[in-house]
Structure 1
Amino acid sequence: MIGQIIFIIILAAAIYLFSKNVAKVRRNILLGKDTDRSDQPALRWKTMAKIALGQTKMTKRPVAAVMHFFIYVGFIIINLEVMEIMIDGIFGSHRIFSKPLGSLYGLLIGGFEVLALLVLTSCVVFLCRRNVLHLKRFSGVEMKSWPKSDANYILITEILLMTAFLTMNGADYKLQAMHFGHYVTAGSFPISSLIAPILPGSTGALEGIERGCWWFHIIGILAFLNYLPYSKHFHILLAFPNTYYSNLNPKGKFTNMASVTNEVKAMLDPSFVPETTGEVARFGVKDATDLTWKNLMEAYTCTECGRCTSVCPANITGKLLSPRKIMMDTRDRITEIGNNIDKHGKDHVDDKTLLDNYITREELWACTSCNACVEACPVNINPLEIITEMRRYVVMEESQAPASLNNMFGNVENNGAPWKYSQADRFNWAEKQ
């Protein structure tokens, strides 16, 4: 009974803390500007099913795709077993699903064990890819300290959780064979039965191992749940809404600003009266709160996998730009703004901005706008939207574009074309042909 009470307290605390942290992330995302992503719901559901559920964009790297698929399926299906563990913890039962499921229960437990082994193997492979093979896309100026450690922490945790799960089942298997206590004969153990011979022979030691691994497994899962909002692995949850709210426009389509459109309409039609919201319009993006809520959701969804940066032509040629860093900086900045709100109130100003304090102008102007990063992202994140909106601010608010662009702007304004000569001279080249 004491064990049940302790478990219920731990479970309630874990759910409360997780809900509180998720609410903070949601609040931070909603600090962004509004944007409508409610059109074409059928296509949006299809996009989510194809990309988030089907993981179709992962297949461009087959080895990683297969390993990730094992972890992904294992994460979903093994959680069914976690439900049983939680019910057993609350009511003090043992393998409560074994009676209602009958022979199907053995098939399920056997499948869980096979998946657990595949997850464990995949995590070991991923750990080696990062720390032994040192794949280039897992490195970079942004992948230092915490971001680098984050992935290792998760992989090591998953290895330990799967090991505890299989060891728990191995001890359970031996206790069932001994007909000890409440350990009813239930389940099939194709993997843990191979571990059982190396476990102690005494019932007391086996029960201690089984209970110890049971507590480690479930507390580890609850700790992992509360770690997610602080980690890049939050994409486990956010990948689904992020892909649902994907930008369905053709890649590279530039959005018009209502404030600019109104100015043009007013010049063409003096009688035109634009609608006003009472807010002072800002051209482009200077800080994270100038971005849309979808941009901020993408920042929290970023998996830091580096696929975007690995195909970025600017990065490949040695430029400072890394699309992954753009997303990580955006997430760090909006998180900082949220923390300031919690500490000092919503009106606090910290004299920092996303532009300059996090993302440099050199990074912005290195971008070729090719959309390679957008195409490569496995969860439809769009770093280019953030880059173009920040460029828009630099050009329209500060008039700080590079000299080559300012020359082009002047030529377009004066000549109606990017070149120095007038429109009347455009076809001169043909006269000598």
Structure 2
Amino acid sequence: MEYIPQIAFVLIAGFFGFLISKRISRISKNIKLGKPAELSGNKSERFKTMLLVAFGQKKMFKRIIPALLHLLIYIGFVLINIEVLEIVIDGIFGTHRVAAPILGDFYSSMINFFEFLAVGVLFSCIVFLIRRNILRINRFKKIEMVGWPSLDANLILIIEIVLMVAILAMNGADQILQDRGADHYAQTGNFYFSGLMFGWLDQFETSSLMLIERVAWWFHIVGIFAFALYVTYSKHLHIFMAFPNTYYSRLVPKGQMDNMPEITNEVKMMLGMPVEGDNAPPPEGMRFGAKDVNDLSWKNLMDAYACTECGRCTSECPANLTGKKLSPRKIMMDTRDRLEDVGKNGLDDGKSLLGDYISKEEINACTNCNACVEACPVNINPLDIILQTRRYVAMEESAAPDSWNAMFQNVETNFAPWKFGVQDRFNWSQELKDGK
């Protein structure tokens, strides 16, 4: 009987660990569906980008109020997990506050700091709930946020609130039990915030308090395990994905587009120019551009899983601001949804990313301005997916808009987008010379 709680803890931890590892494996396999992309060079610059953008949240501070609130949640999430580590050790070995005798007087200071962060997380989550559901910030009301995305955002905030309340209730009950000299509840010093918020628990008998403390303990740690599993199905996967995603950011200027080497070689060969590398023409059956997720690079697919659904990209998109259907956030959400469906049903399910998830009207509305890329707090590049799907439409389906085809033809024949011959290009300057 003595070891039943420990056995139960290990079994629960193992159960959630198995489900989480299985989910991580599925996400990894989905990302590996993408084509190779060489993004391993310049490690020092990549580490610097990751530290500034993911860890330091540099781009979040373009909007100072939500940035400060988000930072408070982020720091709280990271540091409070140190106390979770102690809870895990206690659960495995059947101890209680195992770090207290090791850290001595510093232990209560540490717990008080964690409680301060927990209160900060509570405050920030409540403010974010108000922003989403009462103030109804415009970027949270877009059509792609209807249904599950909106519910997911609210659920995660409520879960964080409940978990913070549980840890404060656990500490509050623990403090009273320490003062009463209950067995296994050794003195660790005062816990200020939990004592202030849950001092009313002093009205309960010792046996009832012990039950409350244990229920709060189990609720908190099982809630943490469930939260970790839930995150892998949620937009909040960015908590973990932001780090590799920013590390593998594009380090070239934002406006620089990647050419297709096969096409570049073809053009060079037609013009009699020297060709680097393999001179062979594109392989038979090669697809130009992207129709489905397996035509994109693995980094494009990682971007999809790293998307926070914050909507900063869409709120900055000039096409969206003028009422067009394009929403860069929806592009990333659609890519992730397609990846999830492919993971369940395979690629041969009669659907494709372009057409069934993303429409031509959306991708044709893009101005290539890179506003979405600049706005993203974790360096996601929706434009790259848009460009690759547009390449497919133009090169594989020959279905680019007529105005685009006219421009392409002018570039081919006149070396400019306009329908003027090279010899007529500077006629306008002659009119200036003539004083007209």
Shorter-chain TM band:
over 0.9
Equivalent position SS for 1:166: helix
Question: Would the aligned equivalents of 1:174 and 1:196 in 2 still touch at CA under 8 Å?
Answer: no
**2:217 corresponds to:** 214
- Residues 1:304 and 2:306 aligned together: no
Q: Structure 1, residues 268-287: CA drift from partner, whole Å, max 9, x if none?
A: 34996625796732111111
**1:115 corresponds to:** 117
Equivalent position SS for 1:265: helix
1:415 Cα deviation after fit: 2.0
Structure 2 counterparts to residues 24-423 of structure 1, below 5 A: 24-199=26-201, 200-269=203-272, 274-275=279-280, 280-341=285-346, 349-423=348-422
1:107 Cα deviation after fit: 1.1
How far apart, in 2, do the equivalents of 1:279 and 1:169 lie?
Answer: 67
1:377 Cα deviation after fit: 0.5
Question: Would the aligned equivalents of 1:120 and 1:158 in 2 still touch at CA under 8 Å?
Answer: yes
How far apart, in 2, do the equivalents of 1:115 and 1:271 lie?
Answer: 62
Q: Structure 1, residues 378-420: CA drift from partner, whole Å, max 9, x if none?
A: 0000100011111111111111111111111111222222222
Question: Would the aligned equivalents of 1:259 and 1:281 in 2 still touch at CA under 8 Å?
Answer: no
- Seen in structure 2, the aligned counterparts of structure 1 residues 187 and 276 have a Cα distance that, compared at 3 Å, is farther
Letter in 1 for 2:374: E
**1:425 corresponds to:** 424
Instruction: Tell me the TM-score normalized by structure 1.
Output: 0.96
How far apart, in 2, do the equivalents of 1:247 and 1:124 lie?
Answer: 35
Question: Would the aligned equivalents of 2:86 and 2:98 in 1 still touch at CA under 8 Å?
Answer: yes
Letter in 2 for 1:178: R
Percent of paired sites with the same residue: 56
- Seen in structure 2, the aligned counterparts of structure 1 residues 187 and 376 have a Cα distance that, compared at 3 Å, is farther
Which segments of 5 or more consecutive residues in structure 1 lack a partner in the other structure? 342-347
Question: Would the aligned equivalents of 2:90 and 2:98 in 1 still touch at CA under 8 Å?
Answer: yes
Question: Would the aligned equivalents of 2:262 and 2:281 in 1 still touch at CA under 8 Å?
Answer: no
Letter in 1 for 2:383: L
Equivalent position SS for 1:230: coil
Question: Would the aligned equivalents of 1:98 and 1:187 in 2 still touch at CA under 8 Å?
Answer: no
How far apart, in 2, do the equivalents of 1:400 and 1:179 lie?
Answer: 79
**1:2 corresponds to:** 4
Question: Would the aligned equivalents of 1:110 and 1:187 in 2 still touch at CA under 8 Å?
Answer: no
How far apart, in 2, do the equivalents of 1:214 and 1:279 lie?
Answer: 62
Equivalent position SS for 1:134: coil
Question: Would the aligned equivalents of 2:47 and 2:247 in 1 still touch at CA under 8 Å?
Answer: yes
How far apart, in 2, do the equivalents of 1:425 and 1:121 lie?
Answer: 67
Letter in 1 for 2:362: E
Letter in 2 for 1:243: T
How far apart, in 1, do the equivalents of 2:155 and 2:356 lie?
Answer: 28
**2:22 corresponds to:** 20
Question: Would the aligned equivalents of 2:237 and 2:306 in 1 still touch at CA under 8 Å?
Answer: yes
Question: Would the aligned equivalents of 1:109 and 1:187 in 2 still touch at CA under 8 Å?
Answer: no
How far apart, in 2, do the equivalents of 1:270 and 1:301 lie?
Answer: 41
Equivalent position SS for 1:142: helix
- Seen in structure 2, the aligned counterparts of structure 1 residues 431 and 258 have a Cα distance that, compared at 3 Å, is same
How far apart, in 2, do the equivalents of 1:50 and 1:159 lie?
Answer: 28
Instruction: Tell me the TM-score normalized by structure 2.
Output: 0.95
- Seen in structure 2, the aligned counterparts of structure 1 residues 9 and 262 have a Cα distance that, compared at 3 Å, is same
How far apart, in 1, do the equivalents of 2:402 and 2:273 lie?
Answer: 34
1:187 Cα deviation after fit: 4.2
Equivalent position SS for 2:425: helix
- Seen in structure 2, the aligned counterparts of structure 1 residues 294 and 98 have a Cα distance that, compared at 3 Å, is same
How far apart, in 1, do the equivalents of 2:270 and 2:411 lie?
Answer: 18
How far apart, in 1, do the equivalents of 2:304 and 2:236 lie?
Answer: 12
Shift >4 Å, 4+ stretches: 270-273, 275-279
How far apart, in 1, do the equivalents of 2:256 and 2:353 lie?
Answer: 24
How far apart, in 2, do the equivalents of 1:39 and 1:270 lie?
Answer: 29
TM-align CA RMSD: 1.4
How far apart, in 2, do the equivalents of 1:271 and 1:368 lie?
Answer: 33
